[in-house]
A and B are shown apart, each in its own frame.
Chain A
Amino acid sequence: MVFRKRKSTIEVSDVLFGCAPGQIQSVGYMQVIPLISEISDDRFVSPINGETRVQTSNYGSLGFQNRGDSVVIIPCNAGYVVKHAAQDHAMAHAGVVGSSTARTYDTAMCVQQSQGGLIREGEYQMSILPYALRERAIDKRTERQYNRLWDAISLFNKELGVRAEGNLVAFLDRFKDELDQFVAEFECVPQQIGAIILVDDQVVGIERAPSHQYWLDVWPSLIRECYGSLAIQVAQRKGQPTQTPASRYPIPDDVESLDELESLIADIASQEDQRARETVRILMDDRLELTVDEKTCELSIETIKSDRFSGQVIRDGDRVVYASMPIRKRWLSENVWRRAQPFEI
């Protein structure tokens, strides 16, 4: 993979072009604003479309064989955790594989220290790296050391009370039940092609897919391993949400009639909708500096440089067909200060 340098600047509104916010979904610490659109570009498919086979031929490589007629967009930081004895790997960036083409990325990273073996060619369930690892993975996307993520994985595991080693499977096994719950709790809605994800009331990521089907394919991995892991971290810090999560706008005790209750529910829905729109509105003008990493299949894979977001977009000319933009950790931690109230007595 050759990395060329050409700068360009877009705004978040360009990433969200053609989308409208759907009804916010809210469970525990996590909220999701679906991005709905009539645009559904079926030229591009995900690696779990049934026609793409994956393998590793070497530590630090991930190979994709696209046997279909469509172009495969490999999500940024896609990973493969396989059942057989092989070293699991993840992508350091997004990828594009043309129709009836095979492609190997030698910038992949091992995510399973102390497990040897190569992933034999096959179709596998895909995951996405946990939020906490993605920024680092993207920053190191041009390097070729296969073990460059191990320290970060070890620290991530340790913070969550899991064995401190460069083995992501340890985290995935330990928190399997909690991660599975996220998939059940956050449902895809019709015409959804993306989402804005919030954890603990803060935007932590923007995701956009080229089509509704692509979105259906990648969403479980995003909500589970990627952003679900962040919700778990927050829950560990702040305490677990209750079994029956409290709603964000609880109903007051003094409601006296059914009509009043019905009106209140409608008001709450409206407030939630306003909140979703306001959340999106604040982001719209954010500027994203882009560096082109690769041009292939008439697409450009570009990495984001901004104070708020990391991640990558894939553009077809000026149109953003894919975006995966996790918030930067530093922005997230500094946001606590930004949101803090001045001292008053």
Chain B
Amino acid sequence: MMDLTLNKSAITPAQQERIARLSKDQRELLPLAFGGFLDTAATATARASYYNTRAEQDAAIQAVHNDLIAVDRGVYAASLALPGVTDHSRQTGIAGLLRSQVSQDSVLDAASESAIVYGLTNMLPPQRMLKMFAALRRDRVNNARVRKLILNCVLGAKNLELWAVKYRRKLASALTHAWGRRTASILQTILAKPAIDRDQKDRKIVARCIGRFVDQRNVDSWMDTVEQCVHFILGDESNLTLARLVAYRDAKVRLENGRKLPLETLEGLRSRFHRDRSSAEVLDLAKSQLTSGQKIALQRKAIEADVKIEFDPSQYDAVRLYIYAYEMGLSEEIREELIRKAEKTADRLPVRFDRVGILLDASASMQGHQTQAYRPMAIALALRDTMAKTATEAVIVTSDGRDAPVASLVEPVGHTSMASALIKLIKADVEVVIVLTDGYENAPAGQFADVVNALDRIGVDVPIHQFSPVFAAEARGIRTLSDSVPGLPVSKPESIGLGVLKALIESDLQRGIAALLNMVQPVIAGRLNDGRSAAVAHINRDAERIEEVTHGIS
């Protein structure tokens, strides 16, 4: 039998009271707005899909965000912190919260909302965070919340030295936006002086603009690092002692001096200062500094350039591994890692089955758009594996009758004929059917819905759930095969929890919002209980980055 459990509530009495005070309009509008938001938040990447351009995706995403924030910004902020929400959705959401005024009437108070914003920003990869800051600058959003957020996130970053060489211009832009041009210019002048030559006024300015944002637990040892990095970011390469900053400066003269630099930084220097050198040489010099993402993305280039780069499959999520496997092949090592990941993810889901039926749409449209080739299929395969591991037994069929066991590749080709596969699963006596599809059926269209209706008339009561790994802007959500089968969006296996939450909010709003706040409580509490938790989060995130950078090389 299916076992569905939710964690016991840990929300505060104040939050419970705020939930109870929701207006009639909010109670009516929230389920729809929340559902619409979830439909996009877990899948939208604002890149083109098989069917829609990037601009269409952007417009559709913004619309659902606007709908939810208009109903209750506290629910909106909390929703952004849910596991499975894409980075793009978070970027959009953080910017939306910062652009608009805090409300006193939402389910979250200002402090909790602020905690979530910090937490969400910490969750973003640095390039996305900086892109978001750039967008705020472009849109001239410069309130106190934005300034504090930028300065905390940048100056409190444990990996600031790496960021300084990798994202120099973007950091300069962000810091200038936060400080203002005049203050930035004054700081640049002050930082050019040795510490011993700074007067009291200089020291006060540095303390106010930089010092209070540095991790106070290590301020003495860390302050010099942050000052040097800011000094470098603002354009001055004099008096440097930090290894990467020195490497950046010296690599302009001799490329080999840049071994400690990230690949793209060194490649940028090559293209400007050493045009006679090749990109393959840069790859060879920088291979010790490759991130895990680069290692997997550059395998093909490395092979062509005869540069050996090894990578550890355990560093990548299942979706990424499948995309890689489609291009480079599915090795036994990757296969085993996929199984391990599926088991681990299944362990954390609040559902268990005895016998699950999985219907995998393996048609051509699951290839996705060429800009993210195979992504929908990769998500579906990762989800297949996870759902199979939630059960004692799994029966897996594809839309065209091919074998598709756990941790196997399935080439997305051909038409979409789901009806007979559905019947096959029902006859296999499964207790639930999970349909993994983009929702487009053509052999013929509508037959799946007909079969679902027929099953209902016959008296078959096996629950059927559809999970869609693609965002269809034309439907402002996902496309369902049948009006009777609820469709839920996914960008990764962990997103299944979102489907549970969506169902709960639709059936019992207060309980659903309580469950929502419960799920994001660690983000809120972490920031509120410890004023430096942002820095702690940075440390944790940045520690992972350091691991990536120094990870196994050959």
Chain A residues with CB under 8 Å of chain B are 22-28, 34, 177, 180-181, 183-190, 244-251, 253, 255-258, 261-262, 265-266, 268-269, 272
Contacts and interface: CB of A to CB of B under 8 A. Distances in A.
A293 B360 CA distance: 49
Contacts of B451: 251, 261, 265
Interface stretch (B130-138, B308-316, B438-446): B438-446
A112 to B, nearest CB: 20
A258 B447 contact: no
A246 B441 CA distance: 11
Given A23-B415, A27-B442, A180-B474, A265 B447 contact: yes
16 contacts: A23-B415, A23-B417, A27-B441, A184-B51, A185-B442, A187-B442, A244-B446, A244-B483, A247-B444, A251-B454, A257-B458, A258-B423, A261-B423, A265-B419, A265-B447, A265-B451
A156 B481 CA distance: 33
B415 A265 contact: no
B455 interface: yes
A253 B457 contact: yes
Nearest to B441: A27
B414 A189 contact: yes
Nearest to B364: A187
B89 interface: no
B51 A250 contact: no
Contacts of B173: none
Contacts of A262: 420, 423-424, 427
Interface of B: 50-52, 363-365, 413-417, 419-420, 423-424, 426-427, 438, 440-447, 449-451, 453-455, 457-458, 460, 474, 480-483
Contacts of B458: 255-258, 261
Contacts of A256: 458
Contacts of B441: 27
Contacts of A272: 444
A25 B442 CA distance: 5
B457 A247 contact: no
Contacts of B482: 244
Nearest to A34: B415
B477 to A, nearest CB: 12
B482 to A, nearest CB: 7
| A-B residue pairs, 6 tightest by C-beta | A26-B444, A187-B364, A247-B446, A27-B445, A25-B442, A245-B445
A140 to B, nearest CB: 33
A40 to B, nearest CB: 15
A181 B427 CA distance: 33
Given A181-B51, A257-B458, A272-B444, A189 B449 contact: no
B51 A188 contact: no
Given A187-B364, A189-B415, A251-B451, 17 more contacts: A25-B415, A25-B442, A180-B52, A184-B365, A184-B440, A185-B440, A187-B365, A188-B413, A189-B364, A189-B414, A250-B450, A258-B458, A261-B455, A265-B419, A266-B420, A268-B447, A272-B444
B435 to A, nearest CB: 14
Contacts of A180: 51-52, 474
Contact of A183 (B51, B419, B447, B453): B51
Nearest to B447: A247
Contacts of A34: 415
Given A244-B482, A251-B450, A265-B451, A186 B442 contact: yes
A261 B454 contact: yes
B446 A245 contact: yes
Nearest to A216: B364
A248 B365 CA distance: 22
Contacts of B416: 187
A79 B66 CA distance: 38
A264 B364 CA distance: 26
Contacts of A187: 363-365, 414-416, 440, 442
A190 B423 contact: no
B49 to A, nearest CB: 9
B457 A255 contact: yes
Contact of B414 (A27, A185, A190): A190
A119 to B, nearest CB: 20
A27 B443 CA distance: 8
A190 B413 CA distance: 7
Contacts of B417: 23, 269
